[in-house]
Structures are given as structure tokens and as C-alpha cells.
Structure 1
């Protein structure tokens, strides 16, 4: 595992543990909130590309849940076929894919976007992706990958911080003002590289620029060597439902190249895709 991947994994562990430790407090007194279900979902989220086989202790450390709670969750998930066990180490089973399949199969964008992304990727010989905003993160819905640029694999379901990704900045720029200010008030800006924006005033200025320009162009803010450009996708009512981007290595395309060569086909793709999405 590279140093960058280890760093990303550490940040993900902290985020999962922080979220897990706070959910019970946030929903204390809510008679309709099922804490046991929330704990089970947290246990599933503990597994990732770099954490495929985990012990009870490791899941407990990652989620912030007690060993007893983790043991019961893993036992239940194992009985249901979502988790397997080998020598006291647990891993996800293919059955877990059914949890996301219902969403992907019922989301028009996820269903129809693939050929559009494939066409852009074929023309530019670079990776093209689509994502939506979920809380403070973007979630990859569809992807056409020419090459692997980042230290982590970007797959359907991958989550990344919105503030330091091109698709994230595009989607943030389309939020209502009050929702955006709430985001600025709670977001924790962590330096992923020396170019990452780490101050709220600077990020606010950047999001304003993205809103006015209609696209976001990021130069190595998420990971060293990674450049990306993104535009919004609007449905039949003109509402932004997702963002699409093209990413490349800094050695293959300058910022000017991305604006002159990548942006036009990316906008054309967003328009074509949006035209088939009903409002």
C-alpha cells in the first residue's frame, strides 16, 4: 500500500469512527430510530479496498463500536450471507451487492449514463465518471476508466470529499445558499495535498467561481498528479441531478488543454445525457 493510500485509509477510518460514535447521540430520544440497524450498516462500511479482511477488534476500532456490538452485528450479517468468516477474520460476501443494486437499477442516471461516459472516454482517452452529492461527499454512480490515475481504485459507490473534487465543487455550487452555508459551517477541510483548499473563505470564493463559470477545474487538490474538470448534469426540468468529469494525469494535459480539449465534449455529454433524463 502506498503512503498516499495509507493516509487516505486513515482519514476514512477516522470519519467512520466519528460518524459511528455520534449517531446514537444525534438520535437519542427518537423512538423511530433503530440503533441496531445503524450499527449493522456501520460494520458493513468498515470494510473497504484496503480493509477487506478484518477481525472483530479491527472493526471495533474502525467504527468506534464495542467488541460485543460488533460481534453480534457480524454474526447476524454472516447468518444472512452478507459476511464470511475465515480464521476469525471477516470479509464481505457478494450478497452485499444486492444492497446497492436496487438503487442503481432504479436510478435513471446510473442506468443510462454508461454509454455516454464511454463515448467521452473513447474520444479523449481519459477516464470519465458521474457522481451525485450525498451529505458532504460525492458518490460515484457510473465510471468509464481508461487508466488508473489515483492510488485508490475508483469504483461505483466510491465516496470522496466534495470540497477537493471537481464533481464535488460543481455539485456544491448548485446548492441553495442556506444549504451551502450550513455545509461551510460544518465541513472540516483536510489538506490532501499542498494545493488543497483548507480555508472556508477561500473555498467559498472557489465555489462562487465554479457557479459563475459552469464548470470546475481542479489541479492536484485531491491527489498529487491528478487533474480533473467537471460539469453539472441537468434533468428535463433543469435541475442538477449529478456531475460528470474527466480526469487525467498532470503530465498528460495542461490546464489549458483541459479547458480547450476536454471541456467541450464533456459539456456535450452532459447536455445529451440530461436530454434523456425526465424531470
Structure 2
């Protein structure tokens, strides 16, 4: 059995054709959806003939698609491979580091939840070290309409979907500030949807929540910051926490393939 050779650190093992091919794919963006072969060659600093075979290979494999005599755009294989990878990443795995960092930066508890019918199911928590920290265990289910996380999740539904979901659900068994009728819930969620985040007070604590979006722009989860009213009671404190929360949700959504969105403060 032959011994495995140890790579020489001083040797350049790069494959120029592969490097050029990946560089070509990286040239496309939302602002430049199509490029000619001459454009590609110019940016690489080579002649068009030097990239011809690379471009043709990428086109044959579906990574580029010819749209004119000498113009190309990204092909369906790029989208297929990218979304397959993003879909394979576990939501908790992606969000965990961001929520831990969010807890460390704010000293507040953070939670991640998804919607299952009319319940908000808690998937992860980053528990603050404070004695009065808000602590909701993983696996807890709470009614969506009565929590900040749940209302954010409901804001991802259309008006028709929301009405169908709650058509036969009684809401008058829950104490204020939870809505007690379907019209009240519809109005509340419409305002939440427009705002992009929810602030909710209950039991001497306050929670601020916002959504996590996937590559299609759909809300697939929600995260929050929650703590005692004494810490979160002022408008200045709330705005600071909200800014930090929105930044974390943007980062998580971007890792899930979402291009980004803005929420009003």
C-alpha cells in the first residue's frame, strides 16, 4: 500500500479552470442578471477563447443558461443546489448561535418557536443568567394569539388563511390583552403584519418578537427577547432591544436564503 503524500505548502494546487468557473458564477447578482462572454473574459483578464469551454461546460451542466447569441444568465441548477442545501439545514442549528449571542449582548432570554395550527411551539431557548429571567422550556405550546411569538407567526398568514384557521376556535376564554373575537384578532394581526414585529406585556414581563423568513420570503419561525418590565419598560430600552432583535432575525433569515427585508421601528 502506497503512502499518502503530504502536500507541499509551497506548491500551488489550485485548478485554474475551476477557479475561473466559480468566479464566473460569482459575477451574477440581482443587479447583473445576464452577462456576455466578452464581459466575463474582461473581468477575468483573459481572452474570450480562454473562457469559452468553461462557459459551455457550465451551460451543459445547467449552471448557466444561454439567453441570447452571446449572453448568459444563472441556470436552474444553481437555484436547485442552493435551495436543497438551505432546506437541509436545521432551523435550530442555524438560529442557535445567533440567539446565544443575542442573549449575551442583551442579558435577556431569547426563544425560537414555530407555528403548529393555532399553537406556538418552542424549539429553543437561550436563558438569561438573571434571577428574574423569563424561562419557557423547549417543547412548550402556547396559544398563538396570546403571545408575541405567536402573533408574529400568525402575521405570516393571509387574511383568508387566518380566518379559516380560527373559524371554529373560541377566543373568549383568554384574559386581556388577548383578542376575544375573530374580528379583533384579524385587526390585531393586520397591524402586526404591517409593523413587522410585536411587543406584548404579561405577568410583569415584556416580550418583543419578530419573524424568521426563508428563501421564499415566508415566515417560518419567530424569535423574541423577553425580560422583566423593570428592564424593558422604557421606550429607549425597547427601541434598543428591538434594533438588536431585528438585526439577529435578518442574519438568521439570510442564512436560510432570504434576501432581506425592512421593518419599521
Question: TM class, shorter-chain normalised?
Answer: 0.5 to 0.7
Q: Of the candidates 238, 241, 248, which is equivalent to residue 269 of structure 1?
A: 248
- Residue 52 (structure 1) aligns with: none
CA gap 1:181/1:109 in 2 versus in 1, 3 angstroms: same
- Residue 196 (structure 2) aligns with: 214
- CA distance, structure 1, for counterparts of residue 232 and residue 185 of structure 2: 24
TM-score of the superposed pair, with normalisation by structure 1 = 0.56
Q: Which has the higher helix share?
A: 1
CA gap 1:255/1:194 in 2 versus in 1, 3 angstroms: farther
- Residue 139 (structure 1) aligns with: 121
- CA distance, structure 2, for counterparts of residue 107 and residue 165 of structure 1: 27
**Pair 1:170 & 2:149 matched:** no
**Pair 1:242 & 2:242 matched:** no
Counterpart contact for 2:159–2:186, Cα < 8 Å: no
- Residue 226 (structure 1) aligns with: 205
Q: 1:17-61: per-residue Cα shift (whole Å, max 9, x none)?
A: xxxxxxxxxxxxxxxxxxxxxxxxxxxxxxxxxxxxxxxxxxxxx
Moved over 6 A (4+): none
- CA distance, structure 2, for counterparts of residue 248 and residue 204 of structure 1: 27
**Pair 1:252 & 2:234 matched:** no
Alpha-carbon deviation of 1:278? Answer: 4.1
**Pair 1:123 & 2:105 matched:** yes
CA gap 1:200/1:235 in 2 versus in 1, 3 angstroms: same
TM-score of the superposed pair, with normalisation by structure 2 = 0.59
Counterpart contact for 2:172–2:181, Cα < 8 Å: no
SS in 1 for 2:111: strand
SS in 2 for 1:185: coil
CA gap 1:213/1:249 in 2 versus in 1, 3 angstroms: same
Alpha-carbon deviation of 1:138? Answer: 0.6
- CA distance, structure 1, for counterparts of residue 173 and residue 102 of structure 2: 31
Alpha-carbon deviation of 1:184? Answer: 2.9
**Pair 1:199 & 2:206 matched:** no
Counterpart contact for 2:174–2:180, Cα < 8 Å: no
CA gap 1:263/1:275 in 2 versus in 1, 3 angstroms: same
Counterpart contact for 1:130–1:243, Cα < 8 Å: yes
Instruction: Please tell me the root mean square deviation across aligned C-alpha atoms, in Å.
Output: 2.0
- CA distance, structure 2, for counterparts of residue 237 and residue 255 of structure 1: 36
- CA distance, structure 1, for counterparts of residue 103 and residue 172 of structure 2: 30
Query: How many residues are paired up?
Result: 169
**The structure with more radius of gyration:** 2
- CA distance, structure 2, for counterparts of residue 159 and residue 124 of structure 1: 25
Alpha-carbon deviation of 1:192? Answer: 4.6
Q: Of the candidates 68, 92, 95, which is equivalent to residue 113 of structure 1?
A: 95
- CA distance, structure 2, for counterparts of residue 244 and residue 129 of structure 1: 5
